[in-house]
Amino acid sequence: MIVIAAVPYVESADIIMAPAYIKAIAAKHGFSSYAIDLNVEVLTLIKSKPNRDRILNFFLTQEIHEDTVNDIRNIINYCANRIAERNPEIIALSLLTFLSQIATRWICAKLRQLCPNARIVIGGPGIKNQISDSNLGFINQLIELKLIDDVIHGDAELSFPEYLRGNYDYPGINNYDWNRVELNSIPTPDYSDYDLSLYERCNIPIIDSRGCVKNCEFCDIIEFWSKYQYRTADVIFAEMLEQIRKYNIRSFEFRSSLVNGNMKEFKKLLKLICDYNEANSEQISWGGYFIIRAANSHTPELMEQIGKSNGCLWVGVESVIPEIRSNMGKPYTNEDLDYHLESSKKYGFKLILLLISGYPHETLEHYETTKQWFKDRTQYIDNILLVSITIASILPGTALERRSKDYNIIQGPYPSVWINQNLKITTKQRLNYFQELQQLVKDLGYNLYDDQKASTFVMDVNGY
């Protein structure tokens, strides 16, 4: 038996696609497997525990409180048992983010006891601290301690079947030269092993593209998937219909950097969804990352279709200061942004605004302008489902990191700790601004995505 599991911890009530997707890949090549989303199962287990946050703190920092020892032990053993009870010969652990690394270490230790003969392989973006990070400390530690046997780097569509065939020298298996798959040939994720009732937001994930058509300097996705790839509208819509048939769920979430990278296919997909929604009383809804373009590209007709298709747009606004956006590689105007806000109101679709707080070139005046921008747009609150603000980080392997010297930036020990020496705004000041902006957004009545973890990783800010 092959068991594929998503490892906690991800602070999300959403479906983690990887195990179901890898299961489908294995099945396509004739291998039967069992897929588990351990993250949702663990979150369900501790949901009503009074010490929930302290338990989760263990998975973030490895801090052990006296009142959490037994709970943590139970969680580790629960996860290992869930896998071991299938008597696996191969255990594939998927790490969505680096926050899964602590749990992976402990679960693997237990798995070595329960399944001493199983081969353990890890993969996913979380095997490194950042997607383009060259630091392999976590992987090396696991191998040195004999907690794992193998690592799959990059996308697993081609390498995982080869791994199951025992071809351990294949590109991507214990080496970095992984091969890219043609996206239109990928299989439909198989959620038949999941208990979908556990999810608070049961949106079926769909891969629609990989990479991005933009070249934003702060982004590490484009470093990982350097070439933009998309699936055609017909293929995506066929997958939607297949999943509706299987699970009777009509809400979907596109797992990509943007849904509107290829406008021709995006328009076609919207048309297919709108036609479905017109013909059926139970309608499709969807959400996905979206880039803003000028009104001549995103016409009122397109906006209307987004509304009729029940779309929810995750918009990477990044900054409301035009010159800051332009420098980072997002040269749309504030008029374009307002047009999308206005359209959401007019055509009844929702927006999730994603902002970066304190970008390297932002001045103290820009901070005030940003606050004012939110004050001036409260008329759109009902259509803005969520505002998510993150602290500006300089991620390894990005263009921003490469340009840091030119920008006169000195970097600290963590991606969010740095100082632009031209502006002399310290990390502490930026952190204060971040908190002020969050508070203001909340006070104004916007629904804020309150990411407590954001500040957890800003530790030693002295001197930056």
Partner 1 sequence: MIKKLRRLSWMSMDTKLECEFTFGHCNGTMCLEVFDGDKLLKKYQNDSLETETLVAEISLPTQLKFVVSGKNYNTDTKVDEQGNITADKCVILKNLKLGNIPIGVGLLYSMLSSKDVYFGRNDTITVDFDEDDFILWHLKNQNKFNIG
How far apart (Å, rounded) are the C-alpha atoms in residues 90 and 30? 15
For partner 1, the binding residue among 9, 59, 106, 178 (CB under 8 A) is 106
Shortest distance in whole angstroms from residue 176 CB to partner 1: 21
Q: Hey, which bits of 130-242 come out as E strands? A: 150-152, 204-206, 209-210, 229-230
Q: Which is nearer to partner 1, 137 or 331 (CB)?
A: 137
How far apart (Å, rounded) are the C-alpha atoms in residues 385 and 425? 31
The residue to which tokens 């095997």 are assigned: 127
How far apart (Å, rounded) are the C-alpha atoms in residues 140 and 134? 12
Q: Which is nearer to partner 1, 84 or 207 (CB)?
A: 84
- Dihedral Cα 22, 121, 38, 97, nearest 10 deg: -90
Shortest distance in whole angstroms from residue 453 CB to partner 1: 15
x/- site string to partner 1, residues 185 to 224, per CB under 8 A?
Answer: ----------x--x--------------------------
Tell me which stretch binds partner 1 (CB under 8 A): 19-27, 40-48, 297-305, 382-390. 40-48
Q: Which of residues 43-102 bind partner 1 (CB under 8 A)?
A: 44-45, 62, 64, 69-70, 72-74, 76-78, 81-82, 84-85, 101-102
From its phi and psi, is residue 349 left (phi > 0), alpha (psi between -120 and 50) or beta? Answer: beta
x/- site string to partner 1, residues 113 to 132, per CB under 8 A?
Answer: xx------------------
Shortest distance in whole angstroms from residue 85 CB to partner 1: 7
Shortest distance in whole angstroms from residue 68 CB to partner 1: 8
From its phi and psi, is residue 38 left (phi > 0), alpha (psi between -120 and 50) or beta? Answer: alpha
* Count of residues near partner 1 by CB under 8 A: 34
Shortest distance in whole angstroms from residue 197 CB to partner 1: 8
For partner 1, the binding residue among 25, 26, 33, 105 (CB under 8 A) is 105
Shortest distance in whole angstroms from residue 61 CB to partner 1: 8
Could you tell me if 16 and 4 are in contact, meaning their C-beta atoms sit under 8 angstroms apart? no
Q: Which is nearer to partner 1, 44 or 132 (CB)?
A: 44
**DSSP category for residue 250:** -
For partner 1, the binding residue among 23, 110, 308, 366 (CB under 8 A) is 110
Q: Which is nearer to partner 1, 147 or 233 (CB)?
A: 147
Sign of CA pseudo-dihedral 442, 445, 451, 452: positive
User: Does 460 participate in binding partner 1 (rule CB under 8 A)?
Assistant: no
Q: Which is nearer to partner 1, 68 or 256 (CB)?
A: 68
CA distances from 346 to 309, 320, 380 (A): 14, 22, 10
The crossing angle, in degrees rounded to 10, of helices 101-114 and 52-61 is: 90
Q: Spell out the alpha helix ranges (H) of 85-135.
A: 101-114
**DSSP category for residue 7:** P
Could you tell me if 388 and 355 are in contact, meaning their C-beta atoms sit under 8 angstroms apart? yes
User: Does 410 participate in binding partner 1 (rule CB under 8 A)?
Assistant: no
Q: Which is nearer to partner 1, 190 or 265 (CB)?
A: 190
Task: Name every residue whose Cβ is closer than 8 Å to that of residue 400 and which is 6 or more positions away in sequence.
Answer: 217, 218, 328, 360, 394
User: Does 141 participate in binding partner 1 (rule CB under 8 A)?
Assistant: yes
Residues near partner 1, by CB under 8 A: 41, 44-45, 62, 64, 69-70, 72-74, 76-78, 81-82, 84-85, 101-102, 105-106, 108-110, 112-114, 137, 141, 145-147, 195, 198
